[in-house]
Structure 1
């Protein structure tokens, strides 16, 4: 994989340097979100950093009208990830990122007991078929049984930018969930979440030791003792939606931890429905949706449920 960028240095760029300081290549790259590790990698890449057609050092000074060319080259694929032909529904792909509609029952990372059934295995196979190297970089997390949209970065620079966007909450996510009972038309759950004592995975609302968590929900439809909710998160705690909905008395059916009712569904009824963000490189506004999965739609007889 090779990704090249060309920057034409302007007087405005020069003025971004700290007062009285010269603008170095390293300072310029850091201002664009290149991480330390990416810059180190560029130093080791043949023709990784070129100023005005000549190989350059990161400490070299930039002037207005200079041309800086950056070459990101990745020739190796992620080690120890076995390519397996698994579902890998690509919603969007360009030179910098992919958006995937993850199926249920698929962990995003290999772990003990999950070596060949993960999204990483599916990605490795997808790129093996294209005869292209690919380092697996999953940007946002979804639980094994949660379906829907997530982002994979295709190179180190886009990964650096996207990770920072996640930290700054610049990637906006909307979830759909089926919950038990008829909820209020809308509401906010503001309750701290912490690990349940004695469990490595289960979480609970814990006002004494938990971390601040806030979930906003809106009821889209209600039928037969179940509500379909749209939810957004102001925080990103583990199991946040599942714990908060259970806390207010509206758990997600099929949730093996918090509501093991498998009458209508065999997994927690949770779906990452929408992702909206600015493209990390082009700054184009992007927004993607993934249809409500059949096993969640089956709770309701109405075929065209309004999802907005």
Structure 2
């Protein structure tokens, strides 16, 4: 649930070799007085200073045959030997066979119905087994596209539809659409309590100043974030809602609903574990084991044909089981003006998990 993070994270160190090599330098007198890490940044411009500093700390850099520190001052005339080490991130860009839930594919794009529990992109603690690893195995040509064509992502435990570009031009166009906010992303969610009405949450999101692992609504320094809400059904303890992203910030729906005091059911980071509910519902939430959030519809303009296309994916079984427990509370259920059956309840009655719709010729 993020904006196209394509241009917000530093992937400049992509010239590293797959196997370790070494390079050697003689320090010129013009570098006398400079710190070792600063001098290396000038000698090895393909690598960030932080990466070089870590190599020095790890003993991969020898100054006249001896380990040194990043702060070591050079005198000129020394001999430097550097062992070039690929980063964990570089090594993580390895094809891995896996059963990818592909729902649409042509020569330009791939649409995937990501299951809960799948990490989209390698990162600390998840260097293998990610969607990126599976994509590289499925289509080796994606190795030539930045981030294997990934232009947006879903949280690990959020399920649903994602689009991947198979070519650089397609990726560029999809990123442009995401930045222009012309890509429509609809989510189905189950929130704590009775959400009172349809509406819009417009609140900037930034890093939580009290917990760097979380995001939060902040008064200063955050990025604009807008989420539109539509109430589908209300139950005594929860609400079944649809969310439409106008922007796409990290954890946006989860943070906005927490701010509205209706956090997602089962959310381990932003949820309320003390929210009162019937025993059967509590068991279903526990069995869910994740936030009750699913990206159910994706609409975009095809990057090559210009045709508007849309895909729908019904909610997965774990959320369906929670809805079944909630709907068993029928005496307290409040129907809203948005009767899904009027449109054909594709969440419940479709024979197929995914439907592709051609919206415009």
Asked if Structure 1 and Structure 2 have the same fold, meaning a TM-score greater than 0.5 normalized by the shorter chain, the answer is yes
Query: What are the Cα deviations for residues 65-107 of structure 1, in whole angstroms up to 9, with x where unaligned?
Result: xxxxxxxxxxxxx974223233311111001000000111111
Shift in Å, 1:177 = 0.9
2:67 alignment partner in structure 1: none
Shift in Å, 1:174 = 0.6
Of 193, 214, 236 in structure 1, the residue corresponding to residue 226 of structure 2 is: 214
1:134 alignment partner in structure 2: 142
Is the CA contact 1:226–1:299 (under 8 Å) kept in the aligned structure 2?
Answer: no
Is the CA contact 1:224–1:300 (under 8 Å) kept in the aligned structure 2?
Answer: no
1:150 alignment partner in structure 2: 162
**Unpaired segments ≥5 residues, structure 2:** 1-89, 274-284, 329-339, 348-361
Shift in Å, 1:307 = 6.3
SS in 1 for 2:257: helix
1:199 alignment partner in structure 2: 211
Shift in Å, 1:226 = 1.7
Number of residue pairs aligned between Structure 1 and Structure 2: 227
1:79, 1:152 → 2: CA distance?
21
1:200, 1:86 → 2: CA distance?
32
The two structures have a TM-score, normalised by structure 2, of 0.59
Work out which of the two has the higher radius of gyration on C-alpha atoms and give 1 or 2: 2
1:264, 1:111 → 2: CA distance?
27
SS in 2 for 1:101: strand
In structure 2, do the counterparts of structure 1 residues 134 and 209 end up closer, same or farther at CA, with 3 Å as the change threshold? closer
1:258 alignment partner in structure 2: 270
Is the CA contact 2:203–2:224 (under 8 Å) kept in the aligned structure 1?
Answer: yes
Is the CA contact 1:220–1:307 (under 8 Å) kept in the aligned structure 2?
Answer: no
Is the CA contact 2:268–2:291 (under 8 Å) kept in the aligned structure 1?
Answer: yes
**Unpaired segments ≥5 residues, structure 1:** 1-77
Is the CA contact 2:198–2:229 (under 8 Å) kept in the aligned structure 1?
Answer: yes
The two structures have a TM-score, normalised by structure 1, of 0.68
1:297 alignment partner in structure 2: 320
Structure in which a larger fraction of residues adopt helix? 2
Is the CA contact 2:190–2:265 (under 8 Å) kept in the aligned structure 1?
Answer: yes
2:346, 2:242 → 1: CA distance?
8
Of 154, 165, 188 in structure 1, the residue corresponding to residue 177 of structure 2 is: 165
SS in 2 for 1:254: coil
Shift in Å, 1:134 = 2.4
